A and B are shown apart, each in its own frame.
Chain A
Amino acid sequence: AQKITQTQPGMFVQEKEAVTLDCTYDTSDQSYGLFWYKQPSSGEMIFLIYQGSYDEQNATEGRYSLNFQKARKSANLVISASQLGDSAMYFCAMRGGRDSKLIFGQGTTLQVKP
């Protein structure tokens, strides 16, 4: 069975600083994908970044990077130079298995302080 765990219910970061949001996962699949989504207070789900299980390089998208440690089954999101607009809930998700089921973690609420 697949499982995603996000252990930080809430995080604070100072504007312009970097922050790391933790995500660990569990799966018996060899091939899987890891995703991060942002959900502002408006409720929309915004895709941020993707990492494939066979990708050797860590994924980066602008100020977002994914610290992928396959042996530790972790896929932490790093946001550099935090902005006030980054305040939102962040979800780690995994797709895998024969059916490509997409499951989500519990989320981390990030608040950026001015």
Chain B
Amino acid sequence: EAGVAQSPRYKIIEKRQSVAFWCNPISGHATLYWYQQILGQGPKLLIQFQNNGVVDDSQLPKDRFSAERLKGVDSTLKIQPAKLEDSAVYLCASSFGQLNTEAFFGQGTRLTVV
């Protein structure tokens, strides 16, 4: 079974530029999560999708971050414009969504804003 795929693995951009991350979840997983993980900290949930609908985006900085999950499969997370404090690893995860099912994570995208 293929895992959660993310691209790119690494990205370096200048502040005020824009960037997009892509995630392909495990087939059949209805729930998709995007997390921001700053070095040495725990993952912070940015947005959660159930199929193609948003169920939680309370911690997404909506003035600069946006995300979509077209057709309930792939998802993209965009930052525009980027700030220095956005430097982090962006993790995508997917699951069947029930309480007792674990989430599977992709390898993450390491973003450096200079």
In contact, A101 and B56 (Cβ under 8 angstroms): yes
In contact, A100 and B42 (Cβ under 8 angstroms): no
Contact partner of A106 (CB less than 8 A), chosen from B42, B100, B102, is B42
Contact partner of B99 (CB less than 8 A), chosen from A4, A95, A107, is A95
In contact, B99 and A100 (Cβ under 8 angstroms): yes
List the 10 closest pairs (A to B, CB-CB), nearest first. Answer: A45-B105, A104-B42, A99-B55, A47-B102, A33-B99, A106-B42, A104-B43, A107-B42, A33-B100, A101-B56
23 contacts between A and B (CB under 8 A): A6-B42, A32-B99, A33-B100, A35-B102, A45-B43, A47-B102, A52-B99, A91-B42, A95-B99, A99-B48, A101-B55, A101-B56, A102-B33, A102-B48, A102-B103, A103-B45, A104-B35, A104-B44, A104-B45, A105-B42, A106-B41, A107-B41, A107-B42
In contact, B99 and A101 (Cβ under 8 angstroms): no
Report the interface size class on chain B: 20 to 34
B24 at the interface (CB under 8 A from A): no
- Given A32-B99, A33-B100, do A44 and B107 touch, yes or no (CB 8 Å)? yes
Which of chain A's residues has its CB closest to B45's CB? A103
B50 at the interface (CB under 8 A from A): yes
Cα distance, A95 to B103, chains bound together (Å): 10
In contact, A43 and B89 (Cβ under 8 angstroms): yes
Chain B nearest CB from A24 CB (Å) reads 14
Interface positions of B (Cβ within 8 A of A) = 31, 33, 35, 40-45, 48, 50, 55-56, 89, 91, 93, 95, 97-100, 102-105, 107-108, 110
Interface positions of A (Cβ within 8 A of B) = 4, 6, 31-33, 35, 43-45, 47, 50, 52, 91, 95-96, 99-107
